[in-house]
A = this chain, B = another copy of it.
Amino acid sequence: MYYHDRRLQYPVTVEKPDPAFARMLQQAIGGVEGEIRVCMQYFFQAWGNRAPTPKYRDMLLHTATEEIGHIEMLATAVALNLETAPASLQEEGAGDGIVGAVMGGGNARHEIEGLIHKNLLSGGLAAMPMDSDGVPFNMSHIYASGNVAADMYCNVAAESTGRVLAVRLFNAAHDEGMRKMLHYMIARDTMHQQQWLAVLEELGGPSANLPIPNSFPQEMEDQANNYNFYATSVDGTFPEGRWTDGPTVDGHGEFTVFQNKPLGEEPILGPARPDSGAQDQQIG
Protein backbone atom coordinates (compact mmCIF):
# COMPACT_ATOMS: atom_id res chain seq x y z
CA MET A 1 0.00 0.00 0.00
CA TYR A 2 1.02 3.62 -0.46
CA TYR A 3 1.54 7.05 1.07
CA HIS A 4 2.04 10.48 -0.37
CA ASP A 5 3.76 13.77 0.38
CA ARG A 6 2.23 16.94 -1.02
CA ARG A 7 5.66 18.17 -2.09
CA LEU A 8 7.28 17.30 -5.38
CA GLN A 9 10.18 14.91 -5.84
CA TYR A 10 12.22 17.70 -7.44
CA PRO A 11 11.56 21.41 -8.10
CA VAL A 12 9.38 22.24 -11.11
CA THR A 13 9.41 25.87 -12.16
CA VAL A 14 8.53 27.68 -15.34
CA GLU A 15 9.56 31.26 -15.89
CA LYS A 16 8.16 31.74 -19.36
CA PRO A 17 5.13 29.53 -20.03
CA ASP A 18 5.19 27.84 -23.43
CA PRO A 19 2.04 26.01 -24.53
CA ALA A 20 3.84 24.34 -27.42
CA PHE A 21 6.38 22.89 -25.01
CA ALA A 22 3.54 21.73 -22.77
CA ARG A 23 2.31 19.59 -25.64
CA MET A 24 5.77 18.14 -26.20
CA LEU A 25 6.00 17.23 -22.51
CA GLN A 26 2.84 15.17 -22.94
CA GLN A 27 4.96 12.59 -24.75
CA ALA A 28 6.86 12.01 -21.50
CA ILE A 29 3.60 11.51 -19.63
CA GLY A 30 1.49 9.39 -21.95
CA GLY A 31 3.82 8.43 -24.78
CA VAL A 32 4.91 4.83 -25.14
CA GLU A 33 8.31 5.91 -23.74
CA GLY A 34 6.69 7.93 -20.96
CA GLU A 35 6.43 7.78 -17.19
CA ILE A 36 2.97 6.21 -16.90
CA ARG A 37 4.38 3.32 -18.81
CA VAL A 38 7.41 2.67 -16.63
CA CYS A 39 5.45 3.31 -13.45
CA MET A 40 2.73 0.83 -14.27
CA GLN A 41 5.16 -1.64 -15.84
CA TYR A 42 7.21 -1.87 -12.67
CA PHE A 43 4.08 -2.15 -10.54
CA PHE A 44 2.61 -4.99 -12.56
CA GLN A 45 5.97 -6.77 -12.68
CA ALA A 46 6.17 -6.47 -8.90
CA TRP A 47 2.61 -7.54 -8.19
CA GLY A 48 2.91 -10.63 -10.40
CA ASN A 49 6.47 -11.54 -9.45
CA ARG A 50 6.87 -15.26 -8.74
CA ALA A 51 10.19 -16.24 -7.22
CA PRO A 52 11.67 -18.08 -4.28
CA THR A 53 12.24 -14.77 -2.49
CA PRO A 54 10.41 -11.44 -2.61
CA LYS A 55 13.64 -9.55 -3.32
CA TYR A 56 12.80 -8.40 -6.87
CA ARG A 57 9.20 -7.70 -5.95
CA ASP A 58 10.56 -5.37 -3.28
CA MET A 59 12.99 -3.62 -5.53
CA LEU A 60 10.43 -3.09 -8.26
CA LEU A 61 8.03 -1.49 -5.76
CA HIS A 62 10.68 1.05 -4.76
CA THR A 63 11.20 2.21 -8.30
CA ALA A 64 7.54 2.00 -9.38
CA THR A 65 6.68 4.24 -6.43
CA GLU A 66 9.42 6.67 -7.41
CA GLU A 67 7.95 6.90 -10.91
CA ILE A 68 4.56 8.13 -9.69
CA GLY A 69 6.42 11.21 -8.57
CA HIS A 70 7.82 11.65 -12.06
CA ILE A 71 4.38 11.65 -13.66
CA GLU A 72 3.40 14.23 -11.03
CA MET A 73 6.36 16.46 -11.88
CA LEU A 74 5.58 16.35 -15.59
CA ALA A 75 1.86 16.96 -15.05
CA THR A 76 2.76 19.98 -12.97
CA ALA A 77 5.12 21.20 -15.68
CA VAL A 78 2.42 20.90 -18.33
CA ALA A 79 -0.06 22.87 -16.22
CA LEU A 80 2.50 25.61 -15.56
CA ASN A 81 3.34 25.90 -19.24
CA LEU A 82 -0.33 26.31 -20.07
CA GLU A 83 -0.88 29.17 -17.62
CA THR A 84 -1.18 31.73 -20.38
CA ALA A 85 -2.69 29.69 -23.16
CA PRO A 86 -5.59 31.50 -24.70
CA ALA A 87 -9.01 30.26 -23.69
CA SER A 88 -11.02 32.82 -25.54
CA LEU A 89 -11.15 35.01 -28.56
CA GLN A 90 -10.46 38.18 -26.64
CA GLU A 91 -6.88 37.33 -25.94
CA GLU A 92 -5.85 37.15 -29.52
CA GLY A 93 -5.18 40.87 -29.64
CA ALA A 94 -1.96 42.75 -29.37
CA GLY A 95 -2.48 43.23 -25.66
CA ASP A 96 -1.60 39.67 -24.77
CA GLY A 97 1.96 40.32 -23.79
CA ILE A 98 3.15 36.93 -22.74
CA VAL A 99 1.64 34.95 -25.56
CA GLY A 100 2.95 37.51 -28.00
CA ALA A 101 6.39 37.29 -26.58
CA VAL A 102 6.43 33.54 -26.56
CA MET A 103 4.89 32.90 -29.91
CA GLY A 104 5.99 35.80 -32.04
CA GLY A 105 2.57 37.39 -32.38
CA GLY A 106 0.45 37.38 -35.47
CA ASN A 107 -1.65 34.30 -35.86
CA ALA A 108 -0.76 33.08 -32.41
CA ARG A 109 -4.21 31.95 -31.38
CA HIS A 110 -4.73 29.39 -34.06
CA GLU A 111 -1.26 28.09 -33.79
CA ILE A 112 -1.45 27.53 -30.06
CA GLU A 113 -4.91 26.11 -30.12
CA GLY A 114 -3.89 23.77 -32.89
CA LEU A 115 -1.02 22.57 -30.74
CA ILE A 116 -2.89 22.01 -27.50
CA HIS A 117 -6.43 21.17 -28.59
CA LYS A 118 -7.43 18.59 -26.05
CA ASN A 119 -5.41 20.08 -23.19
CA LEU A 120 -7.59 23.13 -23.56
CA LEU A 121 -10.94 21.72 -24.67
CA SER A 122 -11.02 18.54 -22.66
CA GLY A 123 -8.48 19.04 -19.89
CA GLY A 124 -9.00 22.69 -19.04
CA LEU A 125 -5.36 23.71 -19.45
CA ALA A 126 -3.92 20.77 -17.59
CA ALA A 127 -1.99 17.58 -18.33
CA MET A 128 -3.77 14.54 -19.66
CA PRO A 129 -2.68 10.88 -19.86
CA MET A 130 -1.93 11.07 -23.58
CA ASP A 131 1.04 11.64 -25.84
CA SER A 132 2.19 14.76 -27.70
CA ASP A 133 -0.26 14.07 -30.54
CA GLY A 134 -3.18 13.64 -28.16
CA VAL A 135 -3.35 9.85 -28.39
CA PRO A 136 -4.39 8.39 -25.03
CA PHE A 137 -1.99 5.97 -23.37
CA ASN A 138 -2.91 2.36 -24.08
CA MET A 139 -2.10 -0.03 -21.24
CA SER A 140 -1.09 -2.84 -23.59
CA HIS A 141 2.34 -1.21 -23.40
CA ILE A 142 2.78 -2.50 -19.86
CA TYR A 143 5.15 -5.40 -20.44
CA ALA A 144 5.17 -7.87 -17.56
CA SER A 145 5.83 -11.33 -18.92
CA GLY A 146 6.28 -13.42 -15.82
CA ASN A 147 9.90 -14.00 -16.85
CA VAL A 148 12.29 -11.84 -14.86
CA ALA A 149 15.03 -11.63 -17.49
CA ALA A 150 12.61 -10.76 -20.29
CA ASP A 151 11.10 -8.13 -18.01
CA MET A 152 14.50 -6.62 -17.25
CA TYR A 153 15.26 -6.25 -20.97
CA CYS A 154 11.83 -4.66 -21.40
CA ASN A 155 12.78 -2.25 -18.64
CA VAL A 156 16.15 -1.39 -20.17
CA ALA A 157 14.33 -0.78 -23.45
CA ALA A 158 11.80 1.47 -21.72
CA GLU A 159 14.45 3.50 -19.92
CA SER A 160 16.56 3.77 -23.09
CA THR A 161 13.76 5.15 -25.22
CA GLY A 162 12.71 7.19 -22.19
CA ARG A 163 16.10 8.85 -21.85
CA VAL A 164 16.26 9.46 -25.60
CA LEU A 165 12.93 11.27 -25.29
CA ALA A 166 14.07 13.25 -22.24
CA VAL A 167 17.20 14.36 -24.09
CA ARG A 168 15.11 15.49 -27.06
CA LEU A 169 12.87 17.47 -24.73
CA PHE A 170 15.92 18.98 -23.03
CA ASN A 171 17.27 20.01 -26.42
CA ALA A 172 13.94 21.63 -27.29
CA ALA A 173 13.45 23.40 -23.94
CA HIS A 174 13.62 27.19 -23.69
CA ASP A 175 13.07 27.61 -20.03
CA GLU A 176 15.76 27.26 -17.40
CA GLY A 177 13.33 25.64 -14.95
CA MET A 178 12.33 23.07 -17.53
CA ARG A 179 15.95 22.27 -18.36
CA LYS A 180 16.67 21.83 -14.66
CA MET A 181 13.76 19.42 -14.23
CA LEU A 182 14.80 17.49 -17.31
CA HIS A 183 18.46 17.28 -16.32
CA TYR A 184 17.20 15.56 -13.17
CA MET A 185 14.90 13.16 -15.04
CA ILE A 186 17.68 12.30 -17.49
CA ALA A 187 19.84 11.38 -14.50
CA ARG A 188 17.17 9.12 -13.06
CA ASP A 189 16.84 7.38 -16.42
CA THR A 190 20.59 6.80 -16.37
CA MET A 191 20.28 5.12 -12.97
CA HIS A 192 17.33 3.01 -14.05
CA GLN A 193 19.15 1.76 -17.15
CA GLN A 194 21.93 0.69 -14.78
CA GLN A 195 19.55 -0.82 -12.28
CA TRP A 196 17.90 -3.27 -14.64
CA LEU A 197 21.20 -4.21 -16.25
CA ALA A 198 22.54 -4.81 -12.73
CA VAL A 199 19.75 -7.31 -12.11
CA LEU A 200 20.69 -9.15 -15.29
CA GLU A 201 24.30 -9.21 -14.13
CA GLU A 202 23.28 -10.45 -10.69
CA LEU A 203 21.28 -13.23 -12.37
CA GLY A 204 24.47 -14.44 -14.03
CA GLY A 205 24.84 -12.38 -17.19
CA PRO A 206 24.31 -13.50 -20.80
CA SER A 207 25.68 -17.01 -20.48
CA ALA A 208 23.35 -17.83 -17.59
CA ASN A 209 20.26 -15.94 -18.73
CA LEU A 210 20.21 -16.71 -22.43
CA PRO A 211 18.32 -17.78 -24.33
CA ILE A 212 15.33 -16.35 -22.51
CA PRO A 213 13.50 -18.27 -21.10
CA ASN A 214 16.41 -20.39 -19.88
CA SER A 215 14.01 -22.90 -18.32
CA PHE A 216 13.21 -24.46 -21.70
CA PRO A 217 15.76 -27.19 -22.49
CA GLN A 218 17.78 -25.75 -25.34
CA GLU A 219 18.22 -29.18 -26.92
CA MET A 220 14.49 -29.16 -27.65
CA GLU A 221 14.79 -26.19 -30.00
CA ASP A 222 15.83 -26.71 -33.63
CA GLN A 223 19.60 -27.07 -33.34
CA ALA A 224 20.08 -26.43 -37.05
CA ASN A 225 18.52 -23.00 -36.96
CA ASN A 226 19.32 -21.38 -33.64
CA TYR A 227 22.57 -19.57 -34.41
CA ASN A 228 22.51 -18.81 -38.13
CA PHE A 229 21.85 -15.43 -39.68
CA TYR A 230 19.27 -15.71 -42.46
CA ALA A 231 20.29 -13.77 -45.56
CA THR A 232 17.11 -12.92 -47.45
CA SER A 233 18.43 -10.71 -50.23
CA VAL A 234 17.76 -11.95 -53.75
CA ASP A 235 21.36 -11.43 -54.75
CA GLY A 236 22.74 -13.38 -51.82
CA THR A 237 24.74 -10.52 -50.34
CA PHE A 238 24.56 -9.71 -46.64
CA PRO A 239 26.29 -7.36 -44.22
CA GLU A 240 29.03 -9.07 -42.26
CA GLY A 241 29.32 -8.34 -38.59
CA ARG A 242 29.53 -9.73 -35.10
CA TRP A 243 26.39 -11.75 -35.97
CA THR A 244 27.73 -13.66 -38.98
CA ASP A 245 30.64 -15.54 -37.48
CA GLY A 246 32.50 -16.13 -34.22
CA PRO A 247 31.14 -17.35 -30.90
CA THR A 248 27.61 -16.36 -29.99
CA VAL A 249 27.04 -13.85 -27.22
CA ASP A 250 25.73 -16.53 -24.86
CA GLY A 251 28.78 -18.66 -25.57
CA HIS A 252 26.60 -21.62 -26.49
CA GLY A 253 27.38 -21.74 -30.20
CA GLU A 254 28.93 -20.21 -33.31
CA PHE A 255 27.29 -17.73 -35.65
CA THR A 256 26.88 -18.91 -39.24
CA VAL A 257 25.01 -17.64 -42.29
CA PHE A 258 22.15 -19.36 -44.09
CA GLN A 259 21.15 -18.30 -47.59
CA ASN A 260 17.44 -18.33 -47.06
CA LYS A 261 15.28 -20.71 -49.03
CA PRO A 262 11.96 -22.41 -48.37
CA LEU A 263 12.14 -25.44 -46.10
CA GLY A 264 8.39 -26.04 -46.38
CA GLU A 265 5.92 -26.49 -49.18
CA GLU A 266 3.10 -24.39 -50.60
CA PRO A 267 0.26 -24.69 -48.10
CA ILE A 268 -3.06 -26.01 -49.38
CA LEU A 269 -6.10 -25.08 -47.33
CA GLY A 270 -8.54 -26.55 -49.82
CA PRO A 271 -12.13 -25.53 -50.52
CA ALA A 272 -14.31 -23.66 -48.06
CA ARG A 273 -17.05 -25.39 -46.08
CA PRO A 274 -20.55 -25.14 -47.53
CA ASP A 275 -21.94 -23.42 -44.44
CA SER A 276 -19.10 -20.98 -43.81
CA GLY A 277 -20.37 -17.89 -45.58
CA ALA A 278 -17.95 -18.25 -48.48
CA GLN A 279 -18.84 -17.82 -52.16
CA ASP A 280 -20.04 -20.86 -54.10
CA GLN A 281 -16.94 -20.58 -56.26
CA GLN A 282 -14.76 -21.26 -53.20
CA ILE A 283 -16.70 -24.32 -52.18
CA GLY A 284 -15.96 -25.90 -55.50
Contact = CB atoms under 8 A, between A and B. Distances in A.
Contacts of A4: 1-3, 61-62, 64-65, 232-234
Copies in the complex: 6
Contact of A139 (B36, B50, B108, B204): B36
Contacts of A149: 160, 279
Given A114-B111, A216-B167, A279-B203, A140 B145 contact: no
Counting contact residues on chain A (CB < 8 A from B), the size range is 35 or more
Given A139-B138, A194-B249, A148 B43 contact: no
Contacts of A65: 2-4, 232
B47 A126 contact: yes
A38 interface: no
Given A47-B76, A65-B4, A221-B190, A279 B118 contact: no
Given A4-B65, A20-B114, A129 B124 contact: no
Contacts of A188: 225-226, 230
B187 A238 contact: no
Interface in A141-198: 141-150, 153-154, 156-157, 160-161, 163-165, 167-174, 183-184, 186-191, 193-195, 197-198
